[in-house]
């Protein structure tokens, strides 16, 4: 039975075989990692034992380390099958491992390597799939769009992104956000996949952070994404149980009570709401003006405020609020509604503050433009 994972590989080789955890994305992209074959080798389908050798393994030195860094590793199905074979206590493991997936006649095919090369293959496959490929795709994306925007005001943002690749660690967790996500998720900002829930949370966290450091930190409260959705769920399924003593909805009730609290009479509550499971809109409740604003980037021209929000306001205030449209850009595609919704909320809450200020510290929070290119970055 063969152990797998970093512990299976001699510690003395870690620095040569793997990028350091504190290395930057740029350093990861130039680190020497072996390619991975995409075709499942027939030898492993029927004869996984073809990878094991009765010969003693070679003694690893710098030359042999560089060799395994350059040789292609097996495809993922091959690695998984070989792992299962070697993890079986009844398997005849023998002494060493061959690179049996290499073409016949390849000079390295008959070299007996230590058992831990299988752990190395598995770790490299994970590293390539979960870290290297996403960052390579991000770099490719920005490289493709960069020449087309050199004459625009986004050029500076692109240059900053390239600069940040030299500072952003390639692995670890994000900090300063409500959701602690892997850093690799930042790579999705440089793609057409960046409009996901994680990114919406991050943009609202950034906005909440900026408003909390303004001259009137409590004048505008940014509600979490689930807040308005929770109101709709209560309205549809728990309206009769919605009271001050109903524990499952206590938080929603306590926020509703702010609507009549004199201390909050000049406050606004704002957030974004997903409707029909595929579209984001912006909702702002202005307590002083007894008004609910709603912004819909589809520009449908009708009142987009869900009845549940009117019901919730009326429960706590005892009156219906006026409905008014909230200024919002009009999307020209079917995917960017969340971008427009967050941007509209940001501009409504801070009329004299750009949503993505530039020039912030690398150690704090930095963001690019919120124009069609999704170049926002947070460190």
3-state secondary structure the chain: CCCCCHHHCCHHHHHHHCCCCCCEHHHHHHCCCCCECCCCCHHHHHCHHHHEECCCCCCCCHHHHHHHHHCCECCHHHHHHHHHHHHCCCCCCCCEECCCCCCCCCCCCCCCECCCHHHHHHHHHHHHHHHHHHHHHHHHHHHHHHHHHCCCCCHHHHHHHHHHCCCCECCCECCCCCCCCEHHHHHHHCCCCCCCHHHHHHHHHHHHHHHHCCCCCCCEEECCCHHHHHHHHHHHHCCCCCCCCCHHHHHHHHHHHHHHCHHHCCCEEEEEEEECCCEEEEEEEECCCCEEEEECCCCCCCCCCCHHHHHHHHHHHCCCCEEEECCCCCCCCCCCHHHHHHHHHHHHHCCCCCCCCCCCCCCCCCCCCCCCCCCCCCC
Angle of CA points 353, 188, 181, to nearest 5°? 85
- pLDDT value for 317: 92
The CATH code that applies to domain 172-349 is 3.40.395.10
Q: What whole-number distance in Å separates Cα of residue 23 and Cα of residue 35?
A: 20
Strand-pairing partners, residue 280, are: 274
Strand-pairing partners, residue 325, are: 294
Identify the CA nearest to 251 among candidates 210, 312, 183.
312
- pLDDT value for 10: 92
Q: How far apart, in Å, do the first and last CA atoms of the chain sit? A: 43
Q: Considering only CA atoms, give the Rg of the chain.
A: 28
Total-model pTM: 0.68
The whole-number mean pLDDT for each consecutive block of 10 residues of the chain, a chain of 379 residues, reads 74 94 90 88 63 89 95 90 78 78 90 92 93 89 66 64 81 76 83 75 84 67 90 93 90 91 86 88 92 89 85 93 92 85 89 36 28 33
Q: What whole-number distance in Å separates Cα of residue 111 and Cα of residue 51?
A: 11
Please identify which residue in the block is written with the tokens 């390295």. Answer: 108
Identify the CA nearest to 373 among candidates 215, 161, 75, 73.
161
Torsion of CA 308, 312, 317, 320, to 10 degrees: 0
Instruction: Burial-class residue 201 by CB neighbours within 10 Å (0-12, 13-18, 19+).
Output: middle
Q: What whole-number distance in Å separates Cα of residue 43 and Cα of residue 211?
A: 61
Sign of the torsion angle spanned by Cα atoms 252, 254, 260, 262: negative
Domain map of the chain by residue range?
6-129, 172-349
Residues 187, 135: contact at Cβ < 8 Å?
yes
Residues 210, 157: contact at Cβ < 8 Å?
no
Strand order across the 220-222 sheet? 220-222, 268-275, 279-286, 291-295, 322-325
Beta-carbon-side half-sphere exposure of residue 28 (alpha carbons within 13 Å)? 25
Pairing of strands 220-222, 268-275: parallel
């Amino acid at each position: 039975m063969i152990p797998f994972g970093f512990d299976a590989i001699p510690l003395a080789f870690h620095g040569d075989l793997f990028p350091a955890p504190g290395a930057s994305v740029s350093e990861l992209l130039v680190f020497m990692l072996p390619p991975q074959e995409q075709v499942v080798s027939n030898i492993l389908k029927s004869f996984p034992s073809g990878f094991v050798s009765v010969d003693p393994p070679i003694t690893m030195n710098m030359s042999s380390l560089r060799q395994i860094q350059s040789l292609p590793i097996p495809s993922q199905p091959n690695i998984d099958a070989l792992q299962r074979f070697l993890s079986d206590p009844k398997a005849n493991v023998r002494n060493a491992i061959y690179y049996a997936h290499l073409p016949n006649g390849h000079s390295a095919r008959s070299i007996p390597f230590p058992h831990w090369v299988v752990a190395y293959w598995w770790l490299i496959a994970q590293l390539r799939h979960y870290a290297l490929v996403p960052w390579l795709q991000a770099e490719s994306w920005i490289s493709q769009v960069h020449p087309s925007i050199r004459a625009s005001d986004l050029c500076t943002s692109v240059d900053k992104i390239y600069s940040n690749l030299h500072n952003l660690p390639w692995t670890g967790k994000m900090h300063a956000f409500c959701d602690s996500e892997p850093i690799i998720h930042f790579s999705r900002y440089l793609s057409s996949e960046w409009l996901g829930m994680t990114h919406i949370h991050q943009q609202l966290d950034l906005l909440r952070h900026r408003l909390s450091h303004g001259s009137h930190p409590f004048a505008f409260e940014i509600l979490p994404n689930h807040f308005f959705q929770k109101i709709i769920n209560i309205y549809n399924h728990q309206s009769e149980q919605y009271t001050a003593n109903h524990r499952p909805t206590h938080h929603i009730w306590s926020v509703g009570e702010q609507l009549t609290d004199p201390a909050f009479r000049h406050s606004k509550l704002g957030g974004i709401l997903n409707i029909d499971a595929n579209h984001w809109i912006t909702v702002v409740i202005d307590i002083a003006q007894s008004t609910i604003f709603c912004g819909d980037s589809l520009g449908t021209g009708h009142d987009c405020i869900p009845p549940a929000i009117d019901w919730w306001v009326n429960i706590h205030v005892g009156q219906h609020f006026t409905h008014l449209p909230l200024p919002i850009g009009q999307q020209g595609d079917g995917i960017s509604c969340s971008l427009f919704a967050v941007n509209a909320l940001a501009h409504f809450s801070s009329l004299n503050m750009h949503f993505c200020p530039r020039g912030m510290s690398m150690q704090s929070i930095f963001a690019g433009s919120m124009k069609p290119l999704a170049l926002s970055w947070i460190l």
